Amino acid sequence: MKFSKLSQLFLVSSIGLLVATVFTACAITTIDYVFVANSAGTGTSNDGQIETYAADSQSGALRTVDTAVSSGGVNPVAMAVTSDYANLYVANSGSNNIVHFGIGIDGTLTAKDTITLASGTPIRMAVNTAGTYLYVISYTPSATANSAALTEYALSSGTIGSVAASVQLNLSNVSGGAYSSDVIVPTGITVLANSSNVTGNAVFVSAYDLSAYNPGGATTSNANPGWVFGFTISSTGALTASTSGNPAVTVSPWTAGVKPTAIASDPADRFVYVTDFAQDQLIGYTIIDGSVLSFLPNGPFRTGNEPSAVIIDPRGMFIYVTNSLDSTVSPYEITLATGTPTAAVNATGSGNNSTDTEPVALVMDPALGRFVYTANFLGNSISGFKADPTSGALTATQATPYPTGEKPTAIVSVPHGNYSTQSVTP
């Protein structure tokens, strides 16, 4: 059958419209950028690598964006971003430096400035919500004397300035100073929100006592191994060990199991949670007087084997914990009145969600609070999950896991474009 020219034109236009409709329906809309730090360099370079991924708004699937950039040093172990998502900081433990990158609207990273720590190796970092201070915990590995420290650097439009304050992490407040010379290893850090309705602000650091807990090595102390240190932050940035007007409330530091590995605070500044790697548990605290911790009465709470990282969703409703030995991530629902975490169960009847091998860090997307990603150290990958907004349960994202460079150690995410971030109101 022959078609007139008009009919042919109509047919071609219809096919074109159909194809356009299909492509539009299948178009990938980037909701977030995800950055992962790979501790092993590539090629002839010893520098670590920072890779950038774009997250699809519907499926949560990740795709690589551009090429990896140098971390600016050797063996990156931690990353942090400012609350306006314009600045990224990378801590390189092999070169004892911290590199500041600017984040472009298309996810591109531009190296800005670098500082080298005068002493000690950076372990973890955090930025206050006002974007005025960068907090770094550090220590000197294999040192026989305690070198653990919390250092506060001034920030100006993202640029790292001079040291504003620095305090040593020690047990001088414990048992009359009997353990003040013990070697402390800091492991995690969290800063309360500047929008807090409490007086002042606070920063908390998880750590363990290497003199009391040293698997495979000698110990010289009978002190409790695990601790959380708390400090108030004055309007000028001064750091002071947390105390309380209530004499019945203990002062910093507080016991935290055997080997705490990570720490997180909820966005409403009500609770703090710490993972205990050695005892497979999550320890919860209530925040009193803005900077003092008190154990949740019905804790600690079971995790998988060797929990390595913990985050709280932007609404303060759910907790997510990576279990490095099991290669899983566990979700918990927070009872808002008490802070008690209850394990969330998936529709399949399981509370465990398999990742690739040895997850060591995780992040939740800030744009919608919908997707969770883990950095898998031995899997050389990122695992992705979609979180149920009602229960917190997880389901695997499309095509997960996503390949990375060698031995990823840290992961952060920033929203793309005009997408607003999640409200902290449950």
Q: How confident is the model at residue 1 (pLDDT cuts 50, 70, 90)?
A: very low
Q: What value does the mean pLDDT of the chain take?
A: 88
Cβ count within 10 A of residue 383: 26
pLDDT at 118: 84
Give Cβ neighbours of residue 158 (< 8 Å, ≥ 6 apart).
82, 86, 87, 100, 102, 112, 131
Q: How confident is the model at residue 344 (pLDDT cuts 50, 70, 90)?
A: confident
**What's the rounded Cα separation, in Å, for the pair 281 and 396?**
24
Span 139-183, pLDDT tens digits = 998 777 899 999 999 999 999 999 999 999 999 999 999 999 999
Cα–Cα nearest to 41, from 80, 70, 4: 70
Cα–Cα nearest to 388, from 298, 320, 325, 292: 320
Span 250-305, pLDDT tens digits = 689 999 999 999 999 999 999 999 999 999 999 999 999 889 999 998 899 999 99
CATH architecture of 117-302: 7 Propeller (2.130)
Answer whether residue 26 shows pLDDT above 50: no
pLDDT at 198: 44
Give Cβ neighbours of residue 353 (< 8 Å, ≥ 6 apart).
328, 329, 330, 331, 346, 385, 394, 395, 396
Maximum CA extent, the chain: 100
Span 307-337, pLDDT tens digits = 999 999 999 999 999 999 999 999 999 999 9
Answer whether residue 397 shows pLDDT above 70: yes
**What's the rounded Cα separation, in Å, for the pair 334 and 318?**
5
Rg (CA), the chain: 23
Span 279-292, pLDDT tens digits = 999 999 999 988 99
Answer whether residue 353 shows pLDDT above 50: yes
- Pairs from 154-163 (Cβ < 8 Å, separation ≥ 24): 154/237, 155/82, 155/87, 155/127, 155/131, 158/82, 158/86, 158/87, 158/100, 158/102, 158/112, 158/131, 159/100, 159/112, 159/113, 160/89, 160/98, 160/100, 160/113, 160/115, 160/134
CB 225 within 8 A of CB 212: yes
pLDDT at 290: 87
**What's the rounded Cα separation, in Å, for the pair 281 and 302?**
5
Span 97-125, pLDDT tens digits = 999 999 999 999 999 999 999 879 999 99
**What's the rounded Cα separation, in Å, for the pair 360 and 407?**
10
User: The whole model's pTM is what?
Assistant: 0.90
**What's the rounded Cα separation, in Å, for the pair 271 and 190?**
11
**What's the rounded Cα separation, in Å, for the pair 315 and 125?**
22
Instruction: In the chain, count H helices and then E strands.
Output: 1, 32
Percent of the chain past pLDDT 70, that is, above it, reads 85
